[in-house]
Chains A and B, each alone.
Chain A
Amino acid sequence: MKIDSIDPRVNRLELDAEHTYEDHVLQTEDHFQTYQVFHQKKRGDKHICVGIVHAPSDEMALVFAKEQYARRGETVNLWVVNTRHVLAMDYEDTDIFSTTTEKTYRDPAGYKVNDRIEAYKKAQIDV
């Protein structure tokens, strides 16, 4: 028994009604690498990471990235970077980012001029 679908594309495949996807065991070569896609909207803008594509090579990653992330809207350029080239922190090490001691002198809010800025802003609103 073949699958009888209202979709002619499915019927063309002549799939057995009993077909199961367990018939297909993934081989190593079925696994493509992932690439991070960076999208640039205008010349001079930063490229912004917008997601990933799976691809067998650098060039094919660029081919796929174009349709995944740049087929609508404005784009002037794309980068793809193989995910294995990204060196990342561990989430276990997030504590690296926490500040324990009082360091308000590093914070622009700590500058004395801030009082004058606030006063100026307030004056603008009052007008």
Chain B
Amino acid sequence: MFDPKTTAALKKMLLVHADDHLILGHRNSEWTGLGPILEEDIAFSSIAQDKIGHALGLYSILHEHLGEADPDTVAFMRNEQEFFCAQLVEHPIGAYDFSLMRHFLFDHAAQFRFDAWSLSAYEPLAKLSRKIKGEIKYHVFHADSWVRQLATEGNEESKARMQSALNEVFPLALGLFESMESEALLTAAGITPSENELREKWLAHIDGLLTKWGLKLPDLRATQAILGGRQGYHTKYLQPLLEEMTEVFRVDPSAEW
């Protein structure tokens, strides 16, 4: 369907975003059983499961349409340098303020991305994006409700913690839009909008929400985006996560589940 260079770029793009969703889904599932209240424990765990489902959807496109190995092999048998997730998603869950703010910034980015992809020239991706639209809508509703609640209805401490979590997560979240060399091929083929275009839409939207809730987005000109994930450069946190995540699978990769 596409020329070999564009196809290679498409594969890399799918892998990048599948990895983002897999690693964040795994991280957020670490809250299962430990959530702040029962209702939230169930909601956040369910969202984490959805993320792993979205990763599976992307890995499945690679397998079924683009000749890559099956999703389990791709997800569980690569080493750290072969993962292309943004560093944002590998950081430990921290306290709930960090996890919520990461969820808020990540899911707004995911919503813009999948909305754009629902019109992609690459039909398998467009189809998946349309299918998961409702789930992402809930993730954003959940994130918005929490951040708004803690920033406007909580107390001074909850508001201060939302702001400091925002300051901490924002440079990492910018790493979600790290551009890749091959990006121009993908935009020319109508597969995806550019990272820059997505980033601008995302920035304008979250800035509007945060301002309304009395929070302040850090000054972009004074912020150094934390990049490298898309090229396989990761923090010290990814390898231990991979070891834990793949521990059972690696005992016997050929086992039937």
Q: Tell me which residues across on chain B come within 8 A of A13, comparing CB atoms.
A: 34
Q: Tell me which residues across on chain B come within 8 A of A54, comparing CB atoms.
A: 37-39
State whether the Cβ of B233 lies closer than 8 Å to any Cβ in chain A: no
State whether the Cβ of A77 lies closer than 8 Å to any Cβ in chain B: no
Q: Are B138 and A66 in contact (CB under 8 A)?
A: yes
Q: Tell me which residues across on chain B come within 8 A of A8, comparing CB atoms.
A: 244
State whether the Cβ of A55 lies closer than 8 Å to any Cβ in chain B: yes
Once A13-B34, A67-B46 are accepted as A-B contacts, the answer to whether A59 and B244 lie under 8 Å apart by CB is: no
Once A64-B43, A67-B42 are accepted as A-B contacts, the answer to whether A9 and B37 lie under 8 Å apart by CB is: no
Q: Which residues of A (48-77) have their CB < 8 Å from a CB of B?
A: 53-57, 59-60, 62-64, 66-68, 71
Q: Are B39 and A59 in contact (CB under 8 A)?
A: no
Q: Are A71 and B39 in contact (CB under 8 A)?
A: no
Q: Are B141 and A63 in contact (CB under 8 A)?
A: yes
State whether the Cβ of B64 lies closer than 8 Å to any Cβ in chain A: no
State whether the Cβ of B123 lies closer than 8 Å to any Cβ in chain A: no
Q: Which residues of B (100-151) have their CB < 8 Å from a CB of A?
A: 138, 141-142, 145-146, 148-149
Q: Which residues of A (1-48) have their CB < 8 Å from a CB of B?
A: 8-9, 12-13, 29, 32
Alpha-carbon separation in the docked complex, A12 to B142 (Å)? 25
Q: Tell me which residues across on chain A come within 8 A of B37, comparing CB atoms.
A: 32, 54
Alpha-carbon separation in the docked complex, A62 to B148 (Å)? 14
State whether the Cβ of B33 lies closer than 8 Å to any Cβ in chain A: yes
Interface of chain B: mostly helix, strand, loop or mixed: helix
State whether the Cβ of B70 lies closer than 8 Å to any Cβ in chain A: no
Q: Tell me which residues across on chain B come within 8 A of A55, comparing CB atoms.
A: 39
Alpha-carbon separation in the docked complex, A32 to B148 (Å)? 17
Q: How far, in Å, is A82 (CB) from chain B's closest CB?
A: 15
Find the A residue at minimum CB distance from B44.
A67
Q: Tell me which residues across on chain A come within 8 A of B153, comparing CB atoms.
A: 56-57
Q: How far, in Å, is A11 (CB) from chain B's closest CB?
A: 11
Alpha-carbon separation in the docked complex, A62 to B138 (Å)? 11
Q: Are B39 and A9 in contact (CB under 8 A)?
A: no
State whether the Cβ of B68 lies closer than 8 Å to any Cβ in chain A: no
Q: Which residues of B (5-46) have their CB < 8 Å from a CB of A?
A: 30, 32-34, 37-40, 42-43, 46
Chain B residues near A (Cβ < 8 Å): 30, 32-34, 37-40, 42-43, 46, 138, 141-142, 145-146, 148-149, 153, 155, 244
Chain A residues near B (Cβ < 8 Å): 8-9, 12-13, 29, 32, 53-57, 59-60, 62-64, 66-68, 71
